[in-house]
Amino acid sequence: MRIVADENIPSVEQAFASLGEVSLVHGRSLQPAHVRDADILLVRSVTRVDERLLADSSVQFVGSATIGFDHVDLDYLLQREIGFARAPGSNATSAAEYVLSAIMVLSERLGFDPADKTVGIIGHGNVGSRVRARFEALGMRCQVNDPPLQAQGGHDDFVSLADVLQADIITVHVPYTRTGRWPTHHLVNADMLAQLRPDAIVLNTSRGAVADNQAMEAWLAVRSSAAAVLDVWEGEPSISLSLMDRVALATPHIAGYSLDGKLRGTDMIYHAACEFFGKSACWQVADALPVSPALVIDSRNDRLSAVREAVLATYDIRADDAALRAIKQLDKGAQAARFDQLRKEYPVRREFSEIELVLETGDPELRRMLDALGFKLSAVTLTA
């Protein structure tokens, strides 16, 4: 079989080699000519998969190494009897850890204790539920709004959007939709922003167009005590530099970019393809994962400082923020290419569960917090 794959899907050649010959392409540049003779097409969210791309192709199976599917015309695939698989939840842990890193940075920068803050979580799926678990481990009070999930029943603790908007921190984790009962296109808009507290913190790690970027910029221009964290942008890879100047932390759509999460996505679509074609799976994720060193954490002072040290030693969002802001030094024509390059050449980042922490003290409450955040705690405790 001939397999055409986005070059930014990690280990895709190694994983799919047992199924056929793999040809790598640039996802944003993928054209009908690339897939005309292909049996399998493997993409990310930057590629629109529809009739225009597939009409004259021999593609039998499409795999998207992403949690979302708004870039795929599912009706067309069903009509053509083309198999489809994606990777729901593959990068959920990574995205939740991104949000936690952002709050650790902002709590230090703005001088607040996260335990004193309330959090409004819009969307309680794979990512939102993980964010909630981590924030509650820090003693933060979480309020959740997810009308589609609530409509399924069994979620009595969910609240209205109006209630969520009164929280100190608002974090958005919804799929991108333009139709249906609860569309999310420009869910974060001028009307919503006007209802927030003057010093609210807003985070968007879902899709760029879930937030009206012009409205966000206008809101930040008049709310000097407010703050925003944006990982996703309207118009990617050509993003608004004026909006970037106003947000507290800006990153190039990499919230879910831990190596573990990305390889999990590859693994999910690989196994789905094997099942579709009736083949045995040969490749294992463990084959592509490096061993992570242990980290010694100074836990002799307050717990928040120890938690912040552990989080930022594992993943420090400030490095990604600095890398994105550096695109301002480039010519306008090179900025979009650099945005994509930052994603393609993203450094190895591991999830908390792959990092062994060695603590300076045996504080049981600190150990409980770090365990709830997902860290692997060493049985060894160092003493002064």
- Which are the catalytic amino acids? 207, 236, 253
Q: Dump strand ranges (E) for the chain.
A: 2-6, 21-25, 40-43, 61-64, 83-85, 118-122, 141-145, 169-172, 201-204, 227-230, 249-250, 295-297, 356-359, 376-381
CA-based nearest residue to 203, from 129, 255, 163: 255
Task: Report the distance separating Cα 301 and Cα 366, nearest Å.
Answer: 11
Q: What is the 3-state secondary structure (H, E, C) of 321-361?
A: HHHHHHHHHCCHHHHHHHHHHHHHCCCCCCCHHHCEEEECC
| Residue 329 CB partners (closer than 8 Å, separation 6+) | none
**Cα dist from 307 to 365, 369, 372, whole Å:** 11, 8, 11
Cβ atoms within 10 Å, residue 161: 14
Task: Report the distance separating Cα 261 and Cα 95, nearest Å.
Answer: 9
Dihedral pair phi/psi, residue 249, rounded to 5°:
-140, 130
Task: Report the distance separating Cα 47 and Cα 122, nearest Å.
Answer: 26
Which amino acid would we find at residue 56?
D
Look at the alpha carbons of 226, 329, 346, 54 in this order and tell me if their dihedral is positive or negative.
positive
